[in-house]
Amino acid sequence: MGVSIYALLTLVLLPPSPMDENVSLQQWVKENTVELRKEYKERAKLAHSACENYEVYIAQDEYIRRADLNPNKLQYSDWFTLKRVNWNYMYYVAGEDMVYCKVPKSGSSTWVYNLLKIAGAPEDHIKSDIGLHRLLRDYYPKMHTSHMKRVFKKSFKFVVVRHPFERLLSAYRDKLEDYQRDLMFRDGYYYTLYGKSIVKLYRDDGDRTLVNRTEPTWKEFVRYVINTPPSKFDEHWKPIYTLCSPCVVKYDVIAKMETFSEDTQYIINQVGLENVLHVEWIHRTAKTKTSDVALKYYSQLTVNQVEQLYEKYRLDFDLFGYDYDDYRDMAAS
């Protein structure tokens, strides 16, 4: 079986050759719609297979009976989470008959901007990054569950996912690494709610290099993540399976940050918003597998810590087809 154009581009999206430089992203997506659709079907199939492996679709009594016979099975709390729809992150765009499940730190700012633009929000509101995510619910209020169930049957549904370790690092750098930034933009919200207790629990008082540091270090944050149940996480680092219910919601597109431009343009084309929303085509180079930024942080961890992080986010790895080999290699042995 041959390798599809899109499968190749998923791994290596090279800058266009001189003869291709005038091809727009919109045109490229239209020309490759068949291959793209195959890719999205494969992503959905992978998620469904993972859910079947977790026995999500069997009855509760049967799962409990089997779990008693196999202590290595998925924890009941995780299994139960996979069986239910979390409506809190769903946004229904009535005019386009579209449902977006918002995953923080996974292209969410772009799609919040897009949805506000569709809703006709004032441009000065959209361009202000402050409170943008909170503003979204003003234009797309939560609907009654029965109503959401009705629109789900016929709507175009999508979610954007990201490598769990890249998303985790992005959350730390954005929310907890810089106390002054948190103080300036959020009145110290993340330090007050998470950072202060992380430092208290995991700081080595004997480390004189941290005497004047207020915010938690990356290693302290990782220890907190490893030792804390996901139910107590902030949404920015909660596993995606807890937010967007991939076992019970049949998404038309599981978009990925690794192919964000192409996936976003495909979604826009499918719902007929080509003249409203525009996407920048970001080209990735053949040699880039994981970022230098990731190396800087994950090299501070031990292999055991990376393994423990993997276990914490294992369901996201399985559901969305990611591995963590590069990150394990980065870790100090």
Residues 192-202 pLDDT 10s = 999 999 999 99
Average pLDDT over residues 80-85: 96
Confidence (pLDDT) at 10? 38
Sign of CA dihedral 197, 198, 204, 210: negative
Label each residue of 111-168 as H, E or C.
Answer: HHHHHHHHCCCCHHHHHCCCCHHHHHHHHCCCCCHHHHHHHHCCCEEEEEECCHHHHH
CA 185 to chain centre: 23
pLDDT confidence tier of residue 130, bands split at 50, 70 and 90: low
Question: What was the pLDDT predicted at 138?
Answer: 93
Whether residue 285 is predicted with pLDDT greater than 80 in this model: the reply is: no
pLDDT at 21: 59
* pLDDT higher at 12 or 291: 291
Distance CA 148, CA 44 (A): 21
Chain centre to alpha carbon of residue 295: 20
pLDDT of residue 67: 79
* Model pLDDT, residue 329: 95
Sign of the Cα pseudo-torsion (292, 297, 300, 303, in order):
negative
For residue 68, what pLDDT is reported?
A: 78
Q: Which of 77-91, 178-192, 239-253, 287-301 has the lowest mean pLDDT?
A: 287-301
pLDDT, position 8: 35
Q: Is the pLDDT at 14 greater than 90, yes or no?
A: no
Around Cβ 157, how many Cβ atoms within 10 Å? Answer: 19
Closest CA relative to residue 141, chosen from 85, 84, 97, 93: 93
CA distance 125 to 116: 9
